[in-house]
Amino acid sequence: MKSKLLILDDDEAILQLLAAVFEDKDMEIILESDSDAAIAKVKSEHPNVAILDICLPKKSGLEVLQEIKRIDSGLSVIMTTGYRTTQNAIEAMKHGAYEYLTKPFDIEKMKDVVQKALECNLLNRKVRYAELSEQIDDTELEEDIMIGSSPQMIQVWKMVGKIADSDASVLIQGPSGTGKELLARAVYNNSKRCNKPFLAVNCAALPETLLESELFGHEKGAFTDAHTRRIGKFEQCNGGTIFLDEIGEMSLSNQGKLLRVLENQEFERVGGNETIKVNVRVIAATNFSLMNAVNDKRFRLDLFYRLRVVSFYLPPLRERLEDLPLLADLFIKKFSRQYEKRVKGLSPSALDLLMQHPWEGNIRELKNVINSATLFCMGDMLMPEDFESLLHVKSGFKKTEIQLEGEGDLYFDAFCTLLDPVFTDICKKENGAVYDRITGALEKALIHMALSKSNNNQVITAKLLGISRNTLRDRLERYKLG
């Protein structure tokens, strides 16, 4: 099913311009110049993203925003205007707008914002959890679903039912890849705040000062790039739920500000004196022991106890292997449908192979392995040979992780471990160009990963990599990234 983009503007030229911009994006485009007609289309067509002009003849864009948010709180709305009014931007964000853009449009920025708004909408679709894959029909395979009937997961389901409707802060602990954000969304979707915003922030993806601005907002002139006032996630999420992933990476300074929000529900924007009052539920997650971080003086004890009013622990997949057949069956159904395959399931020997694998990447690793195996499967059952090369690669990464924790020239050892099994084939294929091919691929991979980590923010990406923005722009153009 195609994603849908609704565009509301009383200027026919703008409508046609934006229609032309997005016509090749595999999206269904809905054009409207009338406010009431656009509201009706939200009810009937359920668009994923809406672009609304603020200045409209009948109802203002801000009024339309409020009405359509009452109809569909998960709709990602981008507000546009030809007037650079700070108050309009603040009002738009307070009422749940995803972003605020001014005319004339930067087309590339508009494309990027629409893509991110679409991703946000798709992530905000309701997350379900189930005990059996048979409980999930075909239409639900598009969603991210938590599934499991192991004793550990049954306790998780029960706890969600008990605490979802409270306003208590929640701490979710567990290894990477176990579904911590899915659990956070499950708590949110079953709470009385489910018709209010849900915003996720990765605390490890931003430097300290930028994270502070992201969470609490900033005033104009608060720092070099602060050209206008901007409200932060807490203010934007008023009445809703904020998910702070990798909370253990937050600086002690920002931990103190977060503690104040948890205790008093108030804060100041960066560079401001006005105290902002909010009503936000906080769900935090970490993939390592916060108690150890407390002992190492890297995490505040008072914040730890304030976050851990309700505590969940998601076990690694190796500790809930009875759920692996259910998860594998779910992923096979999902990817068979996606790739238009007729894969029915796992052969007994393939299931035995998967049950014996250590799964350091947990459910995320299992999902990726099933994805690749289903894509390349030539029959109607997944066999051991469909997995052997994939699981061998995973084992190689396990060795790399061990090397990275040791002493000496860490990256040299890690790259030797990765290259050794395939280096002979590379030399044959790239005869006379091995150096250029490998170094270019490594540089491209580094930039790609840094962009992903920083949500495609070039300023942050350059800082993460330790290169200038000019160098980054050159590499983005060279490797056709961004």
In the prediction, which pLDDT does 154 show?
74
pLDDT at 99 over 90: no
Whether 405 has a pLDDT exceeding 50, the answer reads no
DSSP state of 143: S
How far apart are the C-alpha atoms of 215 and 211, rounded to whole Å?
6
- Residue 234's pLDDT is 94
β-strands 275-277, 266-268 pairing: antiparallel
Q: Would you state the pLDDT for residue 142?
A: 53
C-alpha span between 349 and 72 (Å, rounded): 46
Q: Which residues pair with residue 276 across a beta bridge?
A: 267
Question: What average pLDDT does the structure give for the chain?
Answer: 84
**pLDDT score recorded for residue 197:** 92
- Mean pLDDT throughout 245-271? 93
Check if the beta carbon of residue 193 is closer than 8 Å to that of residue 184.
no
Taking phi first (over 0 means left), then psi (-120 to 50 degrees means alpha), and beta for anything else, what does residue 96 get? left
Question: DSSP of 66-108, one letter per residue?
Answer: HHHHHH-TT-EEEEEESS--HHHHHHHHHTT-SEEEESSP-HH
| pLDDT, greater one: 269 or 206 | 269
Has residue 115 got a pLDDT over 50? yes
Predicted local confidence at residue 397, as pLDDT: 46
Query: What's the pLDDT at 143?
Result: 57
**What mean pLDDT do residues 57-82 have?**
87
Structure confidence at residue 141 (pLDDT): 55
pLDDT of residue 101: 84
Q: Which tokens go with 35?
A: 């406010």
Percent of the chain with pLDDT over 90: 41
Model confidence at 437, pLDDT cuts 50, 70, 90, reads confident
Residue 370: its pLDDT value, please?
94
The residue with greater pLDDT, 30 or 407, is: 30
pLDDT at 396 over 50: no
Above 70 in pLDDT, residue 409? Answer: no
Domains and CATH numbers, the chain: 3-123 (3.40.50.2300), 164-315 (3.40.50.300), 318-399 (1.10.8.60), 422-479 (1.10.10.60)
